[in-house]
Amino acid sequence: QLYGSQQWGKNVVEINLDTRTYRDVRLNKIDPVTSVRSDDTGIRADNPDRTLLGATQLAWLKKTLLDAQSAGTVWKFINTSDPIDQIGAVGSGDDGGKSWMGGYRAERNNLLKYIADNGITNVVFLSSDDHQGRINEVSYVADPSKPTFYTKVPGVISIVDGPIGATGPDAVTDHSYANIKGLAEALATKQTTNGVDPIGLDPKYAGLFNVWREGDTTAATAPKAVDFYTPDTYNYAVLEVTPEGVLNVALRGVDSYAQNSFPTPSDTNQPRDILRFSIDGYAPGGYTLQLLHYYGESGMLGVKTAPIMGALIDKFDDQYSNTLVIGEGDSFIPGPWLVGGADPSLNGLAALGDTSPTDTKSDGVTALGRPDVAIMNLFGTNVSALGNHEFDLGSPVLSSAIAASGNWKGAQFPLITSNLNFSADSSLKGLADASLGGTATNAFAGKEASDIKAKIAPYTVVTKGGQKIGIVGATTWNLLEKSSPNGTKVLDDGNPATSALQEVAASVQASVDILIKAGI
């Protein structure tokens, strides 16, 4: 076994990968005109059966990274002979044939998604043999059905430097700052045009400071592409991790004299720092949560607003690894749209309510409110508040809309409210947490949202990127004045001196306190 890991003190684990023993052969294609053979980075590279590491090594790598994160090891360095960063659009020929992008994209996505989903941060992939030096953030394709939507992995970077002992080719011989800046900007523009994040680190990258680049007087205050790039073949990176968990990186190199020529060492061409930067491994902000919340997909214009809202959610969801989709309540509202939900013809629209991966039949959405809930399911809703309009046609309609029945899979998310009492509501008592007057055995409060679908709880938890996110809900205090539940009431502390709003605040605070006590 050639792969393994080495712990260096409390702050560093070094992971060495074997990217030769277990990998499938490289994908080649032949130009029909020139007969030149090159790496194929087309759709064949997305074959999930192709591997660079092998299943055993990949599983070991994931476990090693997760164990290091759990143990508090600040920096995880991964030595790999093949670059993992993305420098071009998928299948464009610019995405790196000899890298993980060319031939092993499915496995690459699998690994990077695991890192993102488990909140593993401060991961640095180290590789060479690309005849240049570059530092990049790392992105992957979160949804294989949308291969041109790229998602950043928070807290993960790639450092690529030149091959040891190289003798060229080094086509760039003009090493003036102006020329290299132009090359970097041209590459960044091309990447942006193709929907790929431009080369380098975002100026807002968590913990980034002390950026310096030879020739760039504004690198420290306004980092840009050129500050993380050099076309020199002859370069190497020096990494230092301080006892405080700060990573200092210096990319050093020498200029080449001409294409395919080896630069003879001389007093005038000594290795020097080309660029430098530091990252504080303990800096806050290494975790980014995107919150997408919506209201009013239904109503008179539902047929127009729902597709637009769905498209927006789909677009924004692809931009961050950690995204919560939350409904703000009033999931359905009386009117023609709601009444139309009972039209039997809807049972033939499998796309509207089909949540089963094993069949193509409709889930049976013909009932008041079910089409609205089906749309919320299609939005990928994680959690929804419980508003007042859900009760407008009575509790039986609400129960029928959210609870699974026959082919109808029900709401694929819980409804959250901290201030209602369902003890006298026969239609909803069985769906509500015991603390809300639900059936005594109902223990839904604080559970993962995905485990309490179509249930009603005072608070829930959604885990994103290894972080537990607590969600607390409340319903309008004057529910009985605005709507028509069958037995559901607003929680009352029995003290005439307490206002209705104070009672709502107390219910919400109680839920918040429980989550905080649980460390969420």
Residue 181, pLDDT above cutoff 90:
yes
Q: Is the pLDDT of residue 309 over 90?
A: no
Last residue of a domain, one of 200, 216, 250: 200
In a domain, 445, yes or no: yes
Q: How confident is the model at residue 30, as a pLDDT?
A: 78
Using the 3D structure, point to which of 200, 216, 246 is the last residue of a domain. 200
Assign 290 a pLDDT band (cuts: 50, 70, 90).
confident
Which tokens in the block code for residue 478? 């004057």
Choose between 325 and 298: higher pLDDT: 325
User: What's the pLDDT score for residue 473?
Assistant: 92
Domain assignment present for residue 464? The answer is yes
Q: Is residue 507 part of a domain?
A: yes
Structural contact between residues 416 and 386, judged by C-beta atoms closer than 8 angstroms: yes
**Residue of 508 and 254 predicted with greater confidence:** 508
Check which CATH number belongs to the domain holding 147 and give it: 3.60.21.70
pLDDT-wise least confident of 34-38, 433-437, 453-457, 469-473: 34-38
Does a cis peptide bond (omega within 30 degrees of 0) precede residue 169? Answer: yes
Examine the fold and report which residue of 152, 172, 200 is the final residue of a domain before the chain moves on.
200
- Max mean pLDDT range (1-5, 92-96, 281-285): 1-5
User: With pLDDT > 70 as the criterion, what percentage of the chain qualifies?
Assistant: 85
Pair (315, 435) in one structural domain: yes
CA distance 390 to 269: 75
In the predicted structure, residue 354 carries a pLDDT above the cut 60: no
Model-level pTM? 0.61
- The yes-or-no verdict on residue 41 having pLDDT over 90 is no
More confident residue, 481 or 129: 481
Residue 241 lies in a domain: no
* 437, 299: one domain: yes
Task: Give the residue-averaged pLDDT of 298-305.
Answer: 61
Same domain, 339 and 476: yes
Least confident of 177-191, 239-253, 365-379, 456-470: 365-379
Position 373 in a domain: yes
pLDDT of residue 26: 81
Domain count, the chain: 2
- Let me know if residue 504 belongs to a domain: yes
Overall size of the chain counted in residues: 520
Phi, psi dihedrals of residue 391, rounded to the nearest 5°: -95, 0
Q: How much is the pLDDT for 94?
A: 66
> What's the average model confidence in pLDDT over 446-455?
94
Q: Grade residue 143 by pLDDT with cuts at 50, 70 and 90.
A: low
Residue span of the structural domain in which 167 resides: 4-200
Distance CA 209, CA 334 (A): 55
CATH number of the CATH domain containing 317? 3.60.21.10
**Which has the closest alpha carbon to 118: 63, 55, 76?**
63
Predicted pLDDT of residue 294: 85
Q: Cβ distance 73 to 64 under 8 Å?
A: no
- For residues 161 and 299, membership in a common domain is answered with no
Q: Is there a single domain that holds both residue 75 and residue 173?
A: yes
